[in-house]
Chains A and B, each alone.
Chain A
């Protein structure tokens, strides 16, 4: 298969990988020290995080430069596509671990605790629950007293957020159509709308968390319900944030005139990622909020 530029691009030796690894090390070390209350910790974390951001910017900057200068042929493009696709799959498996945990406790563990009259007499194992020693769940809409919590309902903000994410999936696809037709205005409008929707999702999510902590008596520590609720939606929210940042980068690149109808892996990678985040949300909506 003859390609546009004839050859597979082999990059020169590069300092970014090892410096990124070192930053990752500082971030990890800083995290450990911070959660163990050692003063140096947060500073190391900050240093590591800044290092990673700096490296990512330079490294991706270089890749973007190479791409725009036409160094990549179709085969390089395919390597990137395989890479991104399997990276997303690895993320799917990460979420699978947490969904698996949710299903396991809901289907087995809580029932077993409920049927165990020797250790946990009088425990009612219906979901949602915070376990035999945790606060008691009360009906949605009511105000929790001490040692009570209100589970998160599905039809308020979560439903709205579902709508937001689904439409953002549509706008990013619309932007892609624009790109394919070489209609830059449609590309940029589509991306802009997607970013706006992403940010409003994050905003609503943040509001929901505050609401949970201050008014519902629902925190990360609220037994297994609080645990699974915040861990699953939290990791998802983190991914939405990452996705939004990626979208902003793509938007800026589009404004700078990057991407061609036949050569825009960067755009597609971000779009795939965004769709993945979207699909995870649907599962969250069904299994965490609704059922």
Chain B
């Protein structure tokens, strides 16, 4: 296997270091900083939503603006926060975990990052065009014919989604090439850390799903401007066609948003249990089965569109099946903790919270999969509760677990553990207060995507709004903590955590510029 060319290394400093970089760590940092920034952008929109929903009646937004906030909130959080955060982790960790000098295609790596700020400029600029109709207002799912009515903002959104798609596909290609081609001698596939495995599978999902989304929004664009009839019954098309194509992307997408999280948790739990991961092989197979099943369940988002019964039954059964491999993962994590020697540093706290709270979201997902019951849940706050439990208390919490876990490795300094614990507990209180009551709101009859509601929903909405502000503002603690750790603090050792195992912990903290200039040998 190859060593790296030390080849007249140029290290530009200042701004060009970041603009022109081909280094996986710099690009990883760019992704992570971008993601954190966008978290506040998307979060501010969420807070606008929650402020409007604090009381019945219209107070701070008009309905059209509310719909824009709702749509942009979701697009920013999904494409601007969670996905870039995971790619950031992948950039930092994959070469280090595999024993490689860098990612396989470094220039393309930089390209996939730099598309994102431009794509989001395009998307977010629509907020400043209120006179031309403002931003996209049809929900992140952009169902036609509503999306066809939208103003120029919808076109901005479509093109920016094309750009995000290019970025994700390029990123995924890079990940696959790195994992398949850059492993150190002896690092067989079944020896790779689980985080690497989950990313490999996620990358396949990305390449399978993002182009389909591009296809869906392209159809929307041509229906809007070029007179095609994909979604128009008068011309022989069908609005529901869009939903099929969209969810063929959309459902794999939600696993794109959770599989790397599973990977992070599978690194953190063994470390703080001081015990090897239980059932490595079954973890790999479970991840692969989830990815496979995710392609045949898409229509569970469309149970009320009037599908033939056979279709509804098929999609119900397939969806329910996903509980089996996901359950295997939950049980394996618990078995890893079983009879370990547990300690509860911040990463472990977040990881444990992930397992518990993700399961709540997973179980509500299972309830949604039951077709007759879904007729009552569909498009209510019960669904909103479900997906925030898997996305916020799932993906976001896992991202925090990973960030705390690797921060000492990346910066070379220990973070402030006390501040970390505060951040953890405030986050827990805030997020559960926000999202738990939404289950009840949905059951009681509150539909989603409305700026105003009937009086009997007031109390739970007020809790949720209070919780959202607690949750939102406690994230500032995390920013402070990261800045502190970058600036200085107790020096981190190479291994950092007592129970940590794997190649990345054999490198110094912070690691050298080219992670493994000579490949290590894995026995």
Whether B2 contacts A59 by the Cβ 8 Å rule is no
Report Cα–Cα, A136/B218, bound state, in Å.
26
Report Cα–Cα, A100/B298, bound state, in Å.
14
Whether B212 contacts A94 by the Cβ 8 Å rule is yes
Given A16-B107, A78-B181, the answer on whether A131 and B229 have CB atoms closer than 8 Å is yes
Whether B4 contacts A86 by the Cβ 8 Å rule is no
Given A21-B115, A21-B118, A132-B236, the answer on whether A11 and B104 have CB atoms closer than 8 Å is no
Determine the chain B residues whose CB is within 8 A of the CB of A15 once the complex forms: 19-20
From B107, B177, B222, B235, residue with most partner A Cβ within 10 Å: B235
Report Cα–Cα, A20/B119, bound state, in Å.
13
Determine the chain A residues whose CB is within 8 A of the CB of B12 once the complex forms: 13
* Range of interface residues on A (Cβ < 8 Å): 35 or more
Whether B9 contacts A12 by the Cβ 8 Å rule is yes
Whether B110 is near chain A, meaning CB under 8 Å from some CB there, is: yes
Whether B248 is near chain A, meaning CB under 8 Å from some CB there, is: yes
Determine the chain B residues whose CB is within 8 A of the CB of A75 once the complex forms: 1-2, 181-182
Whether B173 is near chain A, meaning CB under 8 Å from some CB there, is: yes
Binary interface profile of B, 103-115, with partner A (CB < 8 Å = 1, else 0)? Answer: 0111110110011
Whether A32 contacts B156 by the Cβ 8 Å rule is yes
Whether B5 contacts A224 by the Cβ 8 Å rule is no
Determine the chain B residues whose CB is within 8 A of the CB of A96 once the complex forms: 211-212, 215
Binary interface profile of A, 146-190, with partner B (CB < 8 Å = 1, else 0)? Answer: 000000000000000000000000000000000000000000000
Whether B234 contacts A87 by the Cβ 8 Å rule is no
From A80, A94, A224, A231, residue with most partner B Cβ within 10 Å: A224
Determine the chain B residues whose CB is within 8 A of the CB of A231 once the complex forms: 219, 222, 228
Contact residues of B between 1 and 18, Cβ < 8 Å to A = 1-5, 7-10, 12, 16-17
Whether B514 is near chain A, meaning CB under 8 Å from some CB there, is: yes
Whether B237 contacts A8 by the Cβ 8 Å rule is no
Report Cα–Cα, A61/B233, bound state, in Å.
49
Determine the chain B residues whose CB is within 8 A of the CB of A83 once the complex forms: 104-105, 108, 173-174, 177
Determine the chain B residues whose CB is within 8 A of the CB of A10 once the complex forms: 4-5, 7, 22, 101-102, 106, 514
Give me 29 A-to-B residue pairs in the complex whose CB atoms sit less than 8 angstroms apart, sorted by A's number. Answer: A8-B3, A10-B5, A10-B101, A12-B22, A13-B17, A16-B111, A17-B20, A17-B111, A21-B117, A32-B156, A35-B155, A75-B1, A75-B181, A79-B104, A82-B176, A83-B105, A93-B207, A93-B208, A94-B211, A97-B245, A100-B248, A105-B237, A109-B240, A134-B229, A134-B234, A134-B235, A220-B227, A221-B229, A223-B237
Partner of A59, one of B107, B159, B232, B238: B107
Whether A120 is near chain B, meaning CB under 8 Å from some CB there, is: yes
Report Cα–Cα, A158/B172, bound state, in Å.
36
Q: Shortest beta-carbon distance, A66 to chain B, in Å?
A: 10
Binary interface profile of A, 97-131, with partner B (CB < 8 Å = 1, else 0)? Answer: 11011001100111011000001100000000111
Determine the chain B residues whose CB is within 8 A of the CB of A13 once the complex forms: 10, 12, 16-17, 20-23
Q: Shortest beta-carbon distance, A219 to chain B, in Å?
A: 8
Given A8-B5, A104-B238, A113-B233, the answer on whether A91 and B176 have CB atoms closer than 8 Å is no
Q: Which residue of chain A has its CB nearest to the CB of B118?
A: A25
Partner of A104, one of B7, B159, B244: B244
Whether B176 contacts A97 by the Cβ 8 Å rule is no
Determine the chain A residues whose CB is within 8 A of the CB of B214 once the complex forms: 94, 97
**What is the interface of chain B mostly: helix, strand, loop, or mixed?**
helix
Q: Shortest beta-carbon distance, A213 to chain B, in Å?
A: 13
Whether A227 contacts B235 by the Cβ 8 Å rule is yes
Given A24-B115, A25-B122, the answer on whether A94 and B235 have CB atoms closer than 8 Å is no
Partner of B121, one of A17, A25, A80, A90: A25
Q: How many A-B residue contacts, CB cutoff 8 Å? A: 241
Report Cα–Cα, A22/B116, bound state, in Å.
10
Whether A200 is near chain B, meaning CB under 8 Å from some CB there, is: no
Given A17-B107, A86-B172, the answer on whether A8 and B101 have CB atoms closer than 8 Å is yes
Contact residues of B between 196 and 241, Cβ < 8 Å to A = 207-212, 214-216, 219, 221-222, 225-230, 232-238, 240-241
Contact residues of B between 148 and 206, Cβ < 8 Å to A = 152, 155-156, 159-160, 162-163, 166, 169, 172-174, 176-178, 180-182
Whether B236 contacts A110 by the Cβ 8 Å rule is yes
Whether A24 contacts B163 by the Cβ 8 Å rule is yes
Given A29-B122, A109-B238, A133-B234, the answer on whether A93 and B182 have CB atoms closer than 8 Å is no
Whether B229 contacts A18 by the Cβ 8 Å rule is no
Q: Shortest beta-carbon distance, A179 to chain B, in Å?
A: 23
Determine the chain A residues whose CB is within 8 A of the CB of B209 once the complex forms: 93
Determine the chain B residues whose CB is within 8 A of the CB of A21 once the complex forms: 111, 114-115, 117-118
Q: Shortest beta-carbon distance, B314 to chain A, in Å?
A: 14
Whether B236 contacts A129 by the Cβ 8 Å rule is yes
Top 4 A-B pairs, shortest CB-CB distance:
A97-B215, A131-B236, A224-B236, A17-B111
Partner of B4, one of A7, A12, A93: A7
Given A6-B3, A13-B22, the answer on whether A32 and B159 have CB atoms closer than 8 Å is yes
Given A21-B111, A96-B212, the answer on whether A82 and B236 have CB atoms closer than 8 Å is no
Whether A131 contacts B232 by the Cβ 8 Å rule is yes
Whether A89 is near chain B, meaning CB under 8 Å from some CB there, is: yes
Report Cα–Cα, A18/B207, bound state, in Å.
22
Given A87-B173, A90-B169, the answer on whether A227 and B230 have CB atoms closer than 8 Å is yes
Whether B118 contacts A223 by the Cβ 8 Å rule is no
Contact residues of A between 27 and 68, Cβ < 8 Å to B = 28-29, 31-32, 35-36, 59
Whether B176 contacts A86 by the Cβ 8 Å rule is yes
Report Cα–Cα, A95/B115, bound state, in Å.
23
Determine the chain A residues whose CB is within 8 A of the CB of B232 once the complex forms: 131
Q: Which residue of chain A has its CB nearest to the CB of B162?
A: A28
Whether A132 contacts B211 by the Cβ 8 Å rule is no
Report Cα–Cα, A7/B7, bound state, in Å.
10
Whether A224 contacts B229 by the Cβ 8 Å rule is yes
Whether A131 contacts B237 by the Cβ 8 Å rule is yes
Q: Shortest beta-carbon distance, A235 to chain B, in Å?
A: 9
Report Cα–Cα, A109/B230, bound state, in Å.
10
Whether A220 contacts B107 by the Cβ 8 Å rule is no
Whether A11 contacts B22 by the Cβ 8 Å rule is yes
Report Cα–Cα, A20/B106, bound state, in Å.
15
Whether B163 contacts A25 by the Cβ 8 Å rule is yes
Partner of A17, one of B114, B119, B221: B114
Whether B159 contacts A31 by the Cβ 8 Å rule is yes
Whether A73 is near chain B, meaning CB under 8 Å from some CB there, is: yes
Whether A17 contacts B110 by the Cβ 8 Å rule is yes
Report Cα–Cα, A32/B122, bound state, in Å.
10
Whether A14 contacts B20 by the Cβ 8 Å rule is yes
Q: Shortest beta-carbon distance, B453 to chain A, in Å?
A: 33
Q: Shortest beta-carbon distance, A288 to chain B, in Å?
A: 15
Q: Shortest beta-carbon distance, B278 to chain A, in Å?
A: 32
